[in-house]
Amino acid sequence: MTRWDAMKKDSFTLALFVLLVAIVFARLALLNQYPLIGTTEPRYAELARQMLVRDDWVTLWVSDGVPLWGKPPLLFWLDAMSMMVLGVNEFALRLPTFIASLLTIGLLWFWSKPYPAWPAGQSMLSALIASLIYISTPFGFFAAGFVATDIFLTLGLTLSMVGFWRAVDCEKTNVWHWGFFVGMAIGLLAKGPLALVLLGFALFLWMMISPKARLTLIWQRLPWLRGLLLMALIAFPWYIWAEIRTPGFLYHFIIGEHFERFFVKDWAGGRFAASHGEPLGMIWWFAIESFMPWLLLTVPAIYFAWRGKTFTAFKNISSEAQYLLCWIFSPLLLFTPARNILEAYMLPALPAFTLLMSHLVLRLIRRNCVWRWSLLFAAPAPLVVVIVVIFFNPVLDKQSQKHLLQNWAPGTPLVYIGKVPPSAAFYTNNQAIDSPSLTELETELQAKPLQKPTTVVMHQTAFNDMTARQKTQWPIVETYGEYVMLRK
């Protein structure tokens, strides 16, 4: 009997599958329904657009003569290729991360195998629940359409962790051990050496539970020499070529981005984005945010398991649970002393959390059928919150320059007083320029008058500092969010 045949015979399983498909298609439909958010999305979008325009697939460029040394190229390669086919728009930019999320979810289906105490089809139901938990968390749903490198790090780490587990958990040799090394290469091209650190630390924690037996198992089940050679052949050529093109890249990327960035508060070594100074241990709060609301189900699940009615089956996955917990705690422990962190740093742990939660939820379902249908109603609830935040939160929309720039005619001068916001650089195809102040701009225009009308955009605070004469000569075109557009 195939998985699909087993699914059709169980109305609950079929309902979960339909819900999962509906959520996935809802996320796909939302990809182009809102402008690039915040500063990260438009910055990365402009880097990918510059890669496409310059036809430079090795070095990322912030501007002429200023390389970006802080990010590997995988996200930008895929975004540039997507824009090459689909055009320069939000859908093309977000499609690669959406596909990466689907691949990550797909790997969850290759994780589980049936346990002796489970009825037939329970491994498929466990994978289905894990997939639903992943995409229905606000964190996972939002990340599935957000232009960032972390989802590709998560994909690479998930492939490595699933490949490793399938290699050591099966007595027969299988191809999954190659996935372990391919995942490492994906991580190196997506986020850099941090991928190897997260992977290595998770495996170290798991190995230390039973050092001798597990070290022997790891050595016997994985083709280390050939696997590391495969990883190097995939990932290292770009690193070598990037150093040749812009000397100094390797030091900045490996030392600066992976040590100084996390342990030096207000680190000033970035050429691209400001560092994020957070209190020590903030990663634990980020974890709670990331795993909600499903984290709340751990309380009844563990309680009922401890009472004994499902504890026998719970013990059957103790080795697997240890592995998943080590996976979850790897970023938590590594980033506890770090200050320059973001919520996205917990994304690589989300697949492990969903797999662990699927086992706990499955035991709740087996104990009482009421939990079955409560799961169907609970899964879509967090998505309503995300959709409301995206479409009805004025802060997110007004951070973007897209709406304001609809009043600007391409090809005419566009000047931002102060720095050009990242979204303005993207939505104008990098045609916007900056000027320190309106007074200096007026001086430049007097020396070299322009035949076309000049559009000026400035922050509300700069507008308030304008003189009465300037406000008369530069009438307002539109005010949106914190910015004012003027034209003369």
| pLDDT values of the chain reduced to their tens digit, one per residue, 488 residues | 455 555 555 677 787 888 888 888 888 988 888 888 878 889 999 999 999 999 889 888 877 777 888 889 999 999 999 999 999 999 999 999 999 999 999 999 888 654 444 444 456 778 888 888 898 888 888 889 889 999 999 999 999 999 998 888 776 667 888 989 999 999 999 998 889 999 999 999 988 887 788 888 888 888 889 999 999 999 999 999 988 988 888 877 877 776 666 565 555 555 555 555 667 777 888 888 878 877 777 776 666 666 654 444 444 457 788 889 899 999 989 888 876 777 888 889 999 999 988 877 777 776 666 666 666 666 676 667 666 666 655 556 667 888 888 888 888 889 998 888 888 888 888 888 888 888 888 888 887 776 678 888 988 888 888 888 888 888 888 888 888 888 88
Q: Which residue has the tokens 């970006």?
A: 68
pLDDT given at position 202: 92
**Burial category of 14 from C-beta neighbours within 10 Å (exposed 0-12, middle 13-18, buried 19 and up):** middle
Classify strands 476-480 and 433-435 as parallel, antiparallel or unpaired.
unpaired
pLDDT of residue 261: 63
* Cβ contact 242:249 at 8 Å: yes
| Token pair for 295 | 């984290």
What pLDDT score does 395 carry? Answer: 58
Residue 143 pairs with which residues in a beta bridge?
Answer: none
- Residue 181's CB is within 10 A of a number of other CB atoms, namely 24
Per-residue confidence (pLDDT) for residue 5, from 0 to 100? 52
The pLDDT of residue 312 is 47
Cα→Cα distances 83→4, 48, 446, Å: 36, 9, 40
Does the bond joining 380 to the residue before it have cis omega, within 30 degrees of 0? no
- Whether 101 contacts 346, CB under 8 Å: no
* Count of positions (residues) in the chain: 488
What pLDDT is recorded for position 105? Answer: 93
**pLDDT confidence of residue 18:** 85
* Residue 199: closest CA among 213, 179, 216: 179
| Residue-level pLDDT at 114 | 46
Domains along the chain with CATH numbers? 3-394 (no CATH), 402-487 (3.40.190)
Residue 439: the pLDDT is: 86
- Does residue 334 contact residue 287 with C-beta atoms inside 8 Å? no
